[in-house]
Structure 1
Amino acid sequence: MKKHISAFLLLVLCVPLFASFAGATAVPSPAKVSASIGELRADQLMFGYVDPSGKQILGLTGNPEKIHPAPKTLTSVLYASGKAFRVAYVKHQKASSKSSYRQSAANFKFDEGELFKLSSPGSKLKSDASVLLQTATAFQGHSFLTFQSEQKGKFNAKTVKAIEKAKNRKVATQGLIATTTNGVQIGIVKFVQGSGKPLASLVLVDRGSMVFQDFVGSNDPYSTWRVDDGGEMGPELFHLIFASSSKAGYALGVEWYGAEGTNLSVIQQKGTKFRVVTEAGRYQAPL
């Protein structure tokens, strides 16, 4: 059991890798607008996951030293970009002695977290899905971007050359995670290692401007970026919960799958980088 708990802590500690997008020019710099307009806050957002019935959600509080919202202030759940169901707070659910210490639908009733129920008539979510609970004003000033998940699409040759020039490294593999209806592309790129450490980047491309989130790996071929990843980094490991834009910049809800669980982050542009607004981890290693 100690091994499982340690692995979960390691999983959660991996989440801050979502920290530094850079260079988008299509969205005004936050320095030129009021800091409060469209700025996402940790005390208005909480990740959670869905029970087997699709009608209950367990909010993940994670590290108690980090900022978390008061559960009663969370009034809806974001289940797709711009689409939400209303929720009602039920109670704080304590961990059961029967818990497997997994944040999964199978262990839902035994896990610890903040319990919510869907209150929209006839509403139902996909069992075991990762979702984002929010206050009524959390996304004030935001426009949600509709997107198509594309795990078989690729950046075109011109974009690849621009990425290689920007990072001064050759691209080894690359693929799209999603493309929005207004043409913004979000993908993952793995670079040829050379003499440095392994490098991969989540890249957002908007009309020629590029935004990077770098992942610097270790030289362990079996656990390069995540535990037991085998050195692989591809679009099939990522899922967008939402994408939005505001006067404060782009914002993304990112789910990153790994061998032992899922990392969850909300990140928002701040100048030429992205800051982590809130984050959580779901430990889901096989029993």
Structure 2
Amino acid sequence: MRRIAIPTLVLLYTACNPSAKKEGNTAQQNDSNITQVTPTQVPAASGDTGTLAFGFSNEKGNMIAVSMEDTLKDATIFTYTISAKGELIPGIKFLKRKQEGKDENGRQMAHNFNNADGYIFASTGGNIDADETAVLLSKDFMTKRKFLPLKGIAGDSVPVTIKAMVEKDKQRSIKRYKLLSRVDGKSNIALFEFEGKEGSMLAALAFISDGKAIYYDYPAQYDDMSTWSVDDGGEFGLDYYKILAAFDNNGHIELVTDWYDTEGANAYFLREEDGKFKVVKQGYRYMAPL
């Protein structure tokens, strides 16, 4: 089980998960078209880490917990979240800090909400999706950027010209892909898995607009059992990846993503810098079956 993580960014880590999520089996690769996932991507984009937090909700979707592993300097600053319909909703209110209960099982999931420790919030403006990672945003966070509504895509395909552009950019043939969302009716967000090169594997998230793409790469070394994540069978798992939110920050695109595997969910806050997405903040929600 080879996994890799950015340990300083893992937010939802528990004692029951001593090896923080190690996504992206990033063996040494020399492909110049691949953006390596390393902590060196983070410092230039670290200014908003305290104004966004990841958590999980109760079964009704009207309460949110943020693990105490993510030490919040001021929990009262969070005032927004993302609804089950993908809408920005106000009305988040910090209630209390809670210690774990006697039946705590280490899972950051709705069924364990009452037993988990954490900073507890009420969502008074609407319910969130209990199956997805919760996203908390501060007022300061939202005053600096524009929220971009997402539109789901069903059955659409990527135009041949766009696929040709992506293949040229990455110098690889597309093995399969999935359109995830559309933004403002003109920009698409898609996820691509490419054919391997001598064991060097690559998947990439792409924000496509005006004939250009902004990428976030997921390089890995092939393993027939666990390539990008544990027990993935050598495939990326396009159907388990979702865009939770999109923002325009003074002309720079930002995305919040949620990616599930057999043990849990990785949440990323990504920001466009120098034509590529870089990690601003990462969270992990442990969800392995009992």
Shorter chain as denominator, the TM-score bin is 0.7 to 0.9
The match for 1:216 among 213, 219, 227 is 219
1:149-206 C-alpha deviation (Å, 9 max, x unpaired): 2364331111111111111111111121111233111111111112241111111111
Which ranges of structure 2 fall in alignment gaps of 5 or more residues? 1-12, 27-33, 37-43
Which residue in 2 is equivalent to 1:175?
A: 178
Structure 1 contact 53–127 (Cα < 8 Å) conserved: yes
Which residue in 2 is equivalent to 1:235?
A: 238
Which ranges of structure 1 fall in alignment gaps of 5 or more residues? 22-34
SS at match of 1:110: coil
Between the aligned partners of 2:259 and 2:175, the Cα distance in structure 1 is 20
SS at match of 2:23: helix
Between the aligned partners of 2:197 and 2:279, the Cα distance in structure 1 is 29
Between the aligned partners of 1:216 and 1:48, the Cα distance in structure 2 is 27
1:226-250 C-alpha deviation (Å, 9 max, x unpaired): 1111122243121111111121500
Answer yes or no: is 1:140 the counterpart of 2:147: no
Aligned length: 263
Indicate the structure whose relative CO is greater, using CA pairs within 8 Å and at least 6 residues apart: 1
Structure 2 contact 21–266 (Cα < 8 Å) conserved: yes
Offset, 1:125: 3.0
1:1-287 to structure 2, matched below 5 A, reads 8-14=17-23, 41-62=48-69, 68-79=72-83, 81=86, 83-120=88-125, 123-150=126-153, 152-247=155-250, 249-287=252-290
Between the aligned partners of 1:190 and 1:252, the Cα distance in structure 2 is 19
- AA matched with 2:223: D
Structure 2 contact 265–286 (Cα < 8 Å) conserved: yes
SS at match of 2:164: helix
Structure 1 contact 176–235 (Cα < 8 Å) conserved: no
Between the aligned partners of 2:135 and 2:25, the Cα distance in structure 1 is 18
Structure 1 residues 7 and 171, CA, compared in 2 at 3 Å: closer, same or farther?
Answer: farther
Offset, 1:81: 5.0
TM-score by length of 2: 0.81
Structure 1 contact 74–136 (Cα < 8 Å) conserved: yes
SS at match of 1:88: strand
Offset, 1:225: 0.3
Structure 1 contact 50–56 (Cα < 8 Å) conserved: yes
Between the aligned partners of 1:63 and 1:140, the Cα distance in structure 2 is 23
Offset, 1:273: 2.3
Between the aligned partners of 1:9 and 1:151, the Cα distance in structure 2 is 39
Between the aligned partners of 1:14 and 1:115, the Cα distance in structure 2 is 28
- AA matched with 2:91: R
- AA matched with 2:80: S
Structure 2 contact 93–122 (Cα < 8 Å) conserved: yes
- AA matched with 1:108: F
TM-score by length of 1: 0.82
Between the aligned partners of 2:161 and 2:51, the Cα distance in structure 1 is 40
- AA matched with 1:230: G
Structure 2 contact 24–227 (Cα < 8 Å) conserved: no
Please give the root-mean-square deviation of Cα atoms over the aligned residues, in Å: 2.9
1:117-154 C-alpha deviation (Å, 9 max, x unpaired): 1234xx33333432211211112232222222236433
Q: Identity of counterpart residues, as a percentage?
A: 22
- AA matched with 2:189: I
Which residue in 2 is equivalent to 1:28?
A: none
- AA matched with 2:23: C
Structure 1 residues 172 and 259, CA, compared in 2 at 3 Å: closer, same or farther?
Answer: same
